[in-house]
Amino acid sequence: MKEDYGQFHYNTDLQSQAGAIDLEDETTQRVRQILNQVDVDYSIQMRTWPISYRRASERPGYGIFPLERHDDLESTFEFIGPLAEYQWVVYTRASSDREISSLDDLQGMRVGGYQNSPITEYLTERGVNVDELPYDALNLKKLTLGYIDAWVTYNVNAESIARQAGYPMPRSAWVVKTVDVYLGINKESETELLMSLGEASQGF
């Protein structure tokens, strides 16, 4: 299972997320390289984050990517990789000169974020009020039209979403942090599979 996300893969047709399809983004290419080294049949399906996460966390033999590594996920997933790295970024409109360098600077701002994403949860847990939407591209539209003051997303998303939507590229105001992303395989999967995937990932 994978999420429809940014440079990793962004699909402008929000109705076509079902089924196994051919994807040629950075993380999918890396995952294919790893899986092709292991004697296993596989398919890659693209769904929304909640569906992808639920299936991968509940079903042995399933995996999800790109997935950030957190302590509370270690008992659920075997992490294969890393596949790539990206940054959590706070964007403002290109014309804005507002300085943002801390969580305190976000207080009182109208902030838009992607529903249930790690960066949204991170900010919310630290007292930042984030207006969450189910599709991140809608946040860029709201930012461009002035309905929000800042958009919190990943650097791999902003450029591709802006290009495909025809909106001006927003201004990177603050890089919150840099994170690695992995292929997470359900830990209840066969031990031999988990070991083989771990060994295959070391060759890239």
pLDDT band at 22; cut points 50, 70, 90: very low
pTM of the model: 0.78
Computed on alpha carbons and rounded to an integer, the radius of gyration of the chain in Å comes to: 18
Q: With beta carbons less than 8 A apart as the criterion, state whether 11 and 74 touch.
A: no
Residue 17: pLDDT above 60? no
Residue 160: pLDDT above 70? yes
Residue 120: pLDDT above 90? yes
**Mean pLDDT across the stretch 57-71?**
94
Neighbouring residues of 96: CB distance < 8 A, sequence distance ≥ 6: 149, 171, 173
Q: What share of the chain is helix, strand, coil (3-state, %, to 5)?
A: 35, 30, 35
Residue with the bigger pLDDT between 48 and 42: it is 42
Would you state the pLDDT for residue 2? 84
Would you state the pLDDT for residue 203? 65
**Mean pLDDT across the stretch 134-152?**
94
